Structures are given as C-alpha cells and as structure tokens.
Amino acid sequence: MTSPTDVFAAIVAEARRDAGLTAAEFDYQLNLGTELGAGAYRGLGNALYRAGQAVGVTDAEMADRFGVEIDQMIAAAKARTYTGWSNASRAMGRKIRYADKEAGQ
C-alpha cells in the first residue's frame, strides 16, 4: 500500500511538471504567494483535483487531507533563499535556483 507521504510527493511532482517548473522555480513561486506564484498554486490545485478524481473525492477533500503537508511545503519554500529570480538574471538566461543549496547549506 502506498503511504500518504508517497502520495503527496507524487502530487507535488505532478504539480511541478504541470506548471513546467523546476523544484526551485516551483518553491520560489510558492514563496511569492497565490497572486504572483499562480503557476505553482494552479499546478498544485490541478494535481490535487486529478488525484482526488482517481479515488473518488473532491480537490477540496484532498486539500483537507494534505493540509498539513501543503502548509509545511509552503513554509519550507518561504524559508529558502533563491538566486536567478531578478529580471537581469532572467535576461541573461539564468534559471531560479536555491541560493542556500549553492552555499553548501
């Protein structure tokens, strides 16, 4: 049987693919909030909807089931630091990356 942790990880992976974002880009958008990070939040909502449909529950019920995990994921995204997000970086073709990971943390 698949654990809830594995199910949530699969939902997040699908949300990232749907949004067309790397893990760092997805987390950066979560960090921005629902207005500026609409792609990540939309991807997560769509993935929750599809996962719910597969087991016969609504996306709202899925969000309730995984509410703690969602909140933890957003809090973790807000705690990270990012690089490559500025207009200047994007103009040079740089992608958003985890700044704290580059520093060896």
What is the torsional sign of CA 85, 90, 96, 99? negative
Q: pTM for the complete prediction?
A: 0.82
pLDDT tens-digit series, residues 82-97: 988 887 877 787 889 9
Give buried/exposed letters for 1-30 (b at 16+ CB in 10 A, else e). Answer: eeeeeebbeebbebbbebbebeebbbbbbb
Q: How confident is the model at residue 105 (pLDDT cuts 50, 70, 90)?
A: very low
The residue that leads in pLDDT, 50 or 1, is 50
Position 56 pLDDT exceeds 90: yes
Average pLDDT, the chain: 88
- Residue that is written with structure tokens 């949300």 in the block: 15
45 pLDDT above the threshold of 80: yes
